[in-house]
Amino acid sequence: MQATTEIRPDTAALRLRRKIDLVNPPFGDACGRIVHHPRIVEVFPQYLIRTHAIIRTTVPLMEAASERARAMSGADAVAAGVATYLERHVEEERHHDDWLLDDLELMEIDRAAVLNRIPSSTIASLAGSQYYWALHCHPVAMLGYLAFMEGFPPSNALIEDLIRRTGFIREAFRTLAEHGELDIGHRDELDELIDSLPLTPDHEILLGLSAISTAELLTRSLDEVLEMFPAPRAAEVSSPPRPGTRSSSP
């Protein structure tokens, strides 16, 4: 009897994931250079500061997109589905930026200094492009953004390695640990939503454009962190700063 291979249907969510897979390698490479950096004690807080600048925009972005989607929902089934999802998901994301500020304080990074820092144009572009697409094209674009943002949850092994190598207390990794658990469920739920919507080819183009742009801008943001801390040549390597001390200004 010949064995059969299960063939998964070619769904909208799978097509979006394939697009993400095409642009993920540079992002994965930049992430790897961050977490394995020889100056990780200095690099990691700077990475979190930029992450805060990004995630503090998440709730306002979703609120704006959901409001636009709800206004369109009477005559647009895709917008209606997007509105229902975002209205629920926004509550799940609320205050995560505050969690990250708490984590940074445990790394001796001043809360006010983080809040007062002017984000780079890369981070502003990341948020600004989503506002444009949601308000002037279609709010389904937010699903492409979220598909990438929540598509790569950190593993427990990575978090444990960072705790060991940085010397920061475990409590300073609360946000990373929470997202490692939450984003798995969010990713699967989002895929189910995308496959339930009556998407047109134009909707799928916008989803892909949003996800690809998110990947490119996030990668650029990571590169900006890495540019602050050139890896030392072998002859220049010295003892790393003592973990738990403020080794770089926010």
As a whole number, the mean pLDDT across the chain is 89
Which residues, in sequence order, are CB contacts of 226 under 8 Å at separation 6+? 30, 33, 34, 37, 43
Inter-residue contact 210 to 130 (CB < 8 Å): yes
161 domain-assigned: yes
The reported pLDDT for the residue numbered 40 is: 96
More confident residue, 151 or 25: 25
Alpha helices, DSSP H only, in 117-173? 121-136, 141-149, 156-166
Q: 198 falls in which pLDDT band (50, 70, 90)?
A: very high
Q: 91 falls in which pLDDT band (50, 70, 90)?
A: confident
Average pLDDT over residues 23-35: 96
The reported pLDDT for the residue numbered 188 is: 87
For the record, the structure tokens of 48 come out as: 């979190």
Q: 69: part of which helix (H) or strand (E)?
A: helix 58-72
Nearest to 56 by CA among 107, 106, 127: 127
12 domain-assigned: no
d(CA 55, CA 95): 9
236 domain-assigned: no
- Judge residue 234's burial from the number of C-beta atoms within 10 Å of its C-beta, 0-12 exposed, 13-18 middle, 19 or more buried: exposed
1 domain-assigned: no
Please say if the pLDDT value at position 67 is more than 90.
yes
pTM of the model: 0.86
Please say if the pLDDT value at position 100 is more than 70.
yes
Q: 12 falls in which pLDDT band (50, 70, 90)?
A: very high
The reported pLDDT for the residue numbered 225 is: 97
Q: Return the CATH number at 164.
A: 1.20.910.10
Inter-residue contact 50 to 127 (CB < 8 Å): no
Please say if the pLDDT value at position 246 is more than 90.
no
State which residues form the domain around 160.
Answer: 18-28+40-228
4 domain-assigned: no
- State the residue for tokens 């890369």: 122
Number of domains in the chain: 1
130 domain-assigned: yes
Q: 243 falls in which pLDDT band (50, 70, 90)?
A: very low
